[in-house]
A and B are shown apart, each in its own frame.
Chain A
Amino acid sequence: MEITFQTVMSQIMLGLNNGVFYATLSLGLAVIFGLLNIVNFAHGALYMLGAFVALMGYNDLGPLLGMPEFHLNYWAALIVVPLVVGLLGIVIEKTMLNRLYRFDHLYGLLLTFGIALIIQGIFTNYFNVSGTPYDGKPAILEGAVNLGFMVFPSYRLWAIAISLAVCFGTWFMIERTKLGAYLRAGTEKPELVQAFGINVPLMITLTYGYGVALAAFAGVVAAPIYSVSPVMGSEMIITVFAVVVIGGMGSIMGSIVTGLALGVIEGLAKVVYPPASSTVVFLMMVVVLLVKPAGLFGKEA
């Protein structure tokens, strides 16, 4: 590809588009890791589940209810799907994860990895691995917008905007509100926060539910862009874990900024030297780990 202003700008926009998914997913991981001390390996599968619930809500829910004309539309899915999948997360936390907090990180990691394999296995059994297109994209987001330097699909622009809004909304909630102060305090000293009269076990459950809902939300936003496939999560999650490591485990702003930046860097690598685009993130990870082992935004232990 010839390096022109146009190609650079278009790759930045596409990179940003991938970056918002990295950011939303690594943000959920950071929130969960902060309070629960659990590395949520099921995150990719829950992202995939979000896309599938949106897909099935559009294609299958109507016939199932005996109303073939009914489709769970995209706007409703943006709200309903994170709630449904978040509820599943709450069940997972209440029945399984909450038994593991006393033990080493490794057990939480193994459990969530197992959950990821189960979810992925179930969907591989019933759906095409190469992907099913999601037909629920709203008409208003069809077409493209002329940004001056390039013509960019309207839906992708929307995906960037809504994801950024959710990420910064979450950042605001955690860093600037009373609820967030409980969360930050609970991350540091859960016992003491509970001794002040706050129901920390409930807070932990809801936090996991929220992190999972973020993943499902990203899944819904991704559904009209990428085809909905059982392996979409496992492909994504590897990069997302690299983002988390580079940004620093548990840092809220760190995961947002790093997610966006790496999406853009990946996009730019496609202009300069396309074969490197899939490895550039891991090269960055190696460099960051050598220079700042706790990650760019992480606190040194």
Chain B
Amino acid sequence: MSDPTARELLRITDLHAFYGESHVVHGIDLMVREGELVTLLGRNGAGRTSILKSIMGLVGRRTGSILVDGRETVGLPTHRIARLGLGYCPEERGIFSSLSVEENLLLPPVVREGGMSLAEIYGMFPNLLERRQSMGTCLSGGEQQMLAMARILRTGANLLLLDEITEGLAPVIVQTLGHLIGQLKGRGFTIILVEQNFHFAATLADRHYVIDHGRIAEMITRDELAGSMERLNGYLGV
């Protein structure tokens, strides 16, 4: 369990987000403390990815407030937000096909001190070391996912936004990823995990935000989870 007195790394207040005319996030409030692992659960299209993209400034327009470590970011361009220590791993993984594995890994610039070294990263992801000269998109789905996560660990980002990292992967790889996420939490990373696979998320997270129609329907802590299963299943449509 994380420390309830740790400082707030992210505080979102009354956030609305729009793509052109379509209103995708409808006034959410959300808070994440340093060192916490929080999930955004919900069905496809509930607005979870849009919330992550709003934090990064990758939607058309945002209103409300998003404080990253106390700094307002709603008026900032995406690259300035990233420099505050955010690491983003998109749903489609975003591996660059014109870059080798190692070039992909070295691409994101260092945004803060204290990132992991290349040697540490290869220690954590031995597959990537073997394939470091291959082109990025020659990797398997699981390896691409590892690469997408590994490359944001080098930059010193301390708040990781991970979007659907288990999607479409074999159970054994999902298990490896779960183990890795646990390791990252142990190293003190703060993580927001958008997840469809509830069982994957349940064992890892401190708290869960249930997203429905672009709003936060409910917040469930790890302790309350057992008692909330029925309602949760209703939201997730299982």
Contacts and interface: CB of A to CB of B under 8 A. Distances in A.
Interface of A: 178, 181-182, 184-185, 187-189, 191-201
B188 interface: no
Contacts of B109: 196-198
Tell which of A178, A182, A198 has the most Cβ of chain B within 10 Å: A198
B19 interface: no
Contacts of A184: 96, 98-99
B98 A195 contact: no
Contact of A195 (B56, B97, B99, B106): B56
28 contacts: A181-B106, A184-B96, A184-B99, A185-B98, A185-B107, A191-B58, A191-B78, A192-B88, A192-B90, A194-B77, A194-B79, A194-B82, A195-B56, A195-B58, A195-B79, A195-B88, A195-B90, A196-B82, A196-B88, A196-B107, A196-B152, A197-B79, A197-B109, A198-B79, A198-B109, A199-B79, A200-B79, A201-B77
Given A192-B94, A195-B82, A199-B77, 18 more contacts: A178-B106, A181-B99, A184-B98, A192-B88, A192-B90, A194-B78, A195-B56, A196-B79, A196-B82, A196-B108, A196-B109, A196-B152, A196-B155, A197-B79, A197-B82, A197-B108, A198-B79, A198-B109
A188 B79 contact: no
A189 B136 CA distance: 14
B98 A187 contact: yes
Contacts of A191: 58, 78
A239 B108 CA distance: 39
Contacts of B106: 178, 181
B162 to A, nearest CB: 13
B107 A197 contact: no
A85 B56 CA distance: 36
Nearest to A199: B79
A167 to B, nearest CB: 19
B99 to A, nearest CB: 6
Contact of A189 (B96, B103, B111, B155): B96
Pairs A-B, 5 closest by C-beta atoms: A197-B82, A196-B108, A194-B78, A192-B94, A184-B98
Contact of B107 (A182, A187, A201): A182
Interface of B: 56, 58, 77-79, 82-83, 88, 90, 94, 96-99, 103, 106-109, 111, 152, 155
Contacts of A194: 77-79, 82
A195 B78 contact: yes
Nearest to A182: B107
A194 B107 CA distance: 11
Tell which of A188, A193, A194, A196 has the most Cβ of chain B within 10 Å: A196
Contacts of B99: 181, 184-185
Nearest to B58: A191
Tell which of B82, B111, B152 has the most Cβ of chain A within 10 Å: B82
A294 B107 CA distance: 28
A130 to B, nearest CB: 45
Contacts of B83: 197
Contact of A197 (B97, B103, B155): B155
A129 to B, nearest CB: 43
Tell which of B77, B78, B96, B152 has the most Cβ of chain A within 10 Å: B78
Contacts of A182: 107
A189 B94 contact: yes
Contacts of B90: 192, 195
B18 to A, nearest CB: 15
A184 B96 CA distance: 8
Contacts of B111: 197
Contacts of A195: 56, 58, 78-79, 82, 88, 90
Contacts of A200: 79
A193 B155 CA distance: 13
B96 A185 contact: yes
A188 B111 CA distance: 22
A182 to B, nearest CB: 7
